[in-house]
Structure 1
Amino acid sequence: MKILVIQQKMIGDVLTSSILFEALRRKYPNAQLHYLINEHTFPVVQNHPFIDQFIFFTKAAKNSKKELLKLALSVKASKYDVVIDVYSKLSSNIITLFSAAKTKISYHKTYTTFVYTHNVKRKKASESKSLAIENRLQLLEPLDIDTQLIKPKIYLSDDEIEQSKVFLKAHGINLEKPIVMIGVLGSGANKTYPHQYIAEVIDTVFTETNAQILFNYIPKQKELAEDIYNNCNKETQQAIFFNVFGNSLREFLSITHHCNALIGNEGGAVNMAKALSVPTFSIFSPWIDKATWSLFEDEKNISVHLKDFKPEIYTKPEKTFKNDADKLYKKFTPNLFKEKLVCFLKNIKN
């Protein structure tokens, strides 16, 4: 049997959807399990023990109908028995349609039902506080796979872990003392906690833990990260290793493996830290639905949302406030969740 899972989305989505392979492998131990993803998201599923082959959705396929058709025809030539389309957008609709698989599964949309043999309706509420996980596992029901919640995992090699240890020591990091990674920036301005506010959070982290602090950012974001650094107290600045960061996603993952916590903007970095079993404290953008993405929360994985403290604002679904993100962020002051943050920091020190 050959099964293809399609998830042409961002890093957090690709990581979350990788749980399907663990369940599929249990049901079909001898099947060939393939994953079609955007090429830049590969590092979060690299070395995954249940995925036999990766197919990359390239920029060429995204920008050219001819290249998309070539990809769809190559999928058809592979003769898959089952296609599970988690992405469920036009390009994946086309790829699935061409696949000629006998079983085609995706989420229910009135205008694409003809493409799939099984159209699964998403849940609107979670039974386990992990709605994104539950909705993905629902896609396995047509295959008679009934499974408990599965936590996404990232698989680092021993060499990667050792090399990151050497890297950190070479840059003056003491591995015997607490290390905290700060997700200083979100994937966009409307997912980024205001600079002066995240600086206050970083000051609290240092005051409570005396930790060595790393910033998660990429080179093109350096100026924004520097502004956050400059908003921190002078004492906190002394504890920030501003120029210590991974030059690739795998390097970031390997460095994060050695951290006591990741704290900051909710997004891919938080999901990756959870998949590495690193405790997280995440700050949701005011327009993102926390119910869907607050995965596997406990005393070591905490998230906060403006709705937690000012529910009266949310007379409509969160996504309708996307254009009001800046205004709502200003209401989301750090003092609202400082007590929660301090409690979290006490837990990670123990």
Structure 2
Amino acid sequence: MNILITRHDKIGDFITTLPLFFTIKRHYPQAKVFALVSKVNFELAEQVDFIDEVILYDTNHFLQTLNAVKKANIEISISAFIDTQLGCILLLSRIKTRIAPATKLAQVLFNKTLKQRRSQVEKTEVLYNLDLAKILDKDINLIFKPPLLTLTKNNHFRNKHQLGNKKIVLLHPGYGGSSDGNLTLENYIELANTVREQNNTQVVWTFGPDDLNTKNQLQALNSKEDLIYQPPTLLDFCHLINDSELLISTSTGPMHLAGALNIETISFFGDSLFASPKRWATVNDLNKQHNFIFDTHFKLVDAVYVIREVLC
């Protein structure tokens, strides 16, 4: 049996779908599990132990994506996020069972749908995604344990910068447009000062391709003790996170990468219910998630306290 799970949007969205991949592969160990993902997640998806094959969802080449899905001879598809183009690809691929949330007009292209009302935020995105598996088997075991992403140890960054056994703490002040709650750069600098006060630590500032303005601002204010790093690839970023003690960021892709690797996180969320950790909490152990709502009650000193507790 060939099963296709699709999530063709951003990094964090794909990570919140990993528990679904895991539970499907565990429940159907003889099945071949395919992933249909966007270009940004393709290399990452190839590293996931419970994904057997990855297909690129190329929004600019409909026929190429369609032919790749057809070639896989998929019998069941599960889509955590849908649009009309995806629905057409799966329908034209003659997939017998096409599972999706009952949302948007595109739902008419799927023959097994589930009403979820995700905008009401009754559970996390992870749990909404997992609920789709119940359409195949209502008794399926949905329990999973971190880490969901395991990588071979890679000390390249540590060795290059002669960090020895220092605890690497990553600060990622950018957000690539995916979060509506974030600290100021000055706030992040204050948190970096707290990290430096702890014994045997190294501050590393990280930036994505959409964070160049923030990177330029930081370079004018940065402590000479800190390192600034823009990972050349997403997989390089994953290896650095995997070798780190803590990641401090807003609710964005790197937070979810750290979650998948079960690395400790301090994360800042917008104050709307939809943007909150009630919807977008990541997948590391609960005791490794330190989530703050960026509202009128937020106090930076609370994050400072957590940094000291984690690094003591």
If the length of structure 1 is used for normalisation, what is the TM-score? Answer: 0.78
Q: Secondary structure at 2:105's aligned position in 1? A: coil
Contact 2:175–2:211 (CA under 8 A) maintained in structure 1 = no
Distance 1:3 1:220, change over 3 A: closer
Q: Secondary structure at 2:91's aligned position in 1? A: helix
| Residue 147 (structure 1) shift | 2.2
Q: Secondary structure at 1:200's aligned position in 2? A: helix
> Which runs of 5 or more residues in structure 1 are unaligned?
311-331
Distance 1:110 1:255, change over 3 A: closer
For residues 221 and 114 of structure 1, the distance between their equivalents in structure 2, rounded to whole angstroms, comes to: 38
Determine whether 1:294 maps to 2:267: no
Distance 1:348 1:187, change over 3 A: same
Match of 1:95 among 89, 93, 100: 89
| Residue 152 (structure 1) shift | 6.1
Determine whether 1:7 maps to 2:7: yes
Q: Secondary structure at 1:109's aligned position in 2? A: coil
| Residue 138 (structure 1) shift | 0.6
| Residue 245 (structure 1) shift | 4.7
Determine whether 1:348 maps to 2:304: no
Contact 2:36–2:57 (CA under 8 A) maintained in structure 1 = yes
For residues 209 and 163 of structure 2, the distance between their equivalents in structure 1, rounded to whole angstroms, comes to: 21
Q: Secondary structure at 1:112's aligned position in 2? A: helix
Contact 1:44–1:154 (CA under 8 A) maintained in structure 2 = no
Determine whether 1:119 maps to 2:119: no
Match of 2:224 among 238, 250, 257: 238
For residues 217 and 87 of structure 2, the distance between their equivalents in structure 1, rounded to whole angstroms, comes to: 43
Distance 1:224 1:17, change over 3 A: same
For residues 105 and 163 of structure 2, the distance between their equivalents in structure 1, rounded to whole angstroms, comes to: 54
| Residue 101 (structure 1) shift | 1.9
| Residue 74 (structure 1) shift | 4.2
Structure 1 counterpart of 2:11, one-letter code: I
Deviations 1:58-105 (A, max 9, x none): 2xxx23xxx314422442353321011112112211112212222110
Structure 2 counterpart of 1:153, one-letter code: L
Deviations 1:276-333 (A, max 9, x none): 12100011244523310123563431111124x54xxxxxxxxxxxxxxxxxxxxx6x
Structure 2 counterpart of 1:272, one-letter code: L
Match of 1:154 among 146, 149, 156: 149
For residues 300 and 147 of structure 1, the distance between their equivalents in structure 2, rounded to whole angstroms, comes to: 24
Identity among equivalent pairs (%) = 21
For residues 223 and 114 of structure 1, the distance between their equivalents in structure 2, rounded to whole angstroms, comes to: 42
Match of 2:49 in 1: 49
Structure 1 counterpart of 2:5, one-letter code: V
| Residue 34 (structure 1) shift | 0.6
Deviations 1:32-61 (A, max 9, x none): 111111122123322222111111012xxx
Bigger proportion of residues as helix: 1
Contact 1:181–1:259 (CA under 8 A) maintained in structure 2 = yes
Structure 2 counterpart of 1:156, one-letter code: L
Determine whether 1:304 maps to 2:292: yes
Structure 2 counterpart of 1:49, one-letter code: D
Match of 1:338 in 2: 301
Structure 1 counterpart of 2:304, one-letter code: V
Distance 1:179 1:12, change over 3 A: same
**Runs of 4+ more than 6 Å apart:** none
| Residue 188 (structure 1) shift | 2.5
Match of 1:140 among 121, 133, 137: 133
Deviations 1:192-217 (A, max 9, x none): 53222222222233234562110111
| Residue 257 (structure 1) shift | 1.4
Structure with larger RCO (C-alpha < 8 A, sep 6+): 2
* Superposed CA RMSD: 2.5
Contact 2:46–2:54 (CA under 8 A) maintained in structure 1 = no
Match of 1:206 in 2: 196
Match of 1:321 in 2: none
Q: Secondary structure at 1:227's aligned position in 2? A: helix
Match of 1:278 among 253, 263, 266: 263
Contact 2:170–2:246 (CA under 8 A) maintained in structure 1 = yes
Match of 2:237 in 1: 252
For residues 172 and 64 of structure 2, the distance between their equivalents in structure 1, rounded to whole angstroms, comes to: 38
For residues 112 and 209 of structure 2, the distance between their equivalents in structure 1, rounded to whole angstroms, comes to: 44
| Residue 218 (structure 1) shift | 3.8
Distance 1:54 1:219, change over 3 A: closer
Contact 2:55–2:69 (CA under 8 A) maintained in structure 1 = no
Match of 1:184 in 2: 173
Structure 2 counterpart of 1:305, one-letter code: I
Kindly name which structure, 1 or 2, has the bigger radius of gyration based on alpha carbons: 1
| Residue 146 (structure 1) shift | 2.5
Deviates more, 1:20-29 or 1:31-40: 20-29
Distance 1:71 1:252, change over 3 A: closer
Determine whether 1:167 maps to 2:157: yes
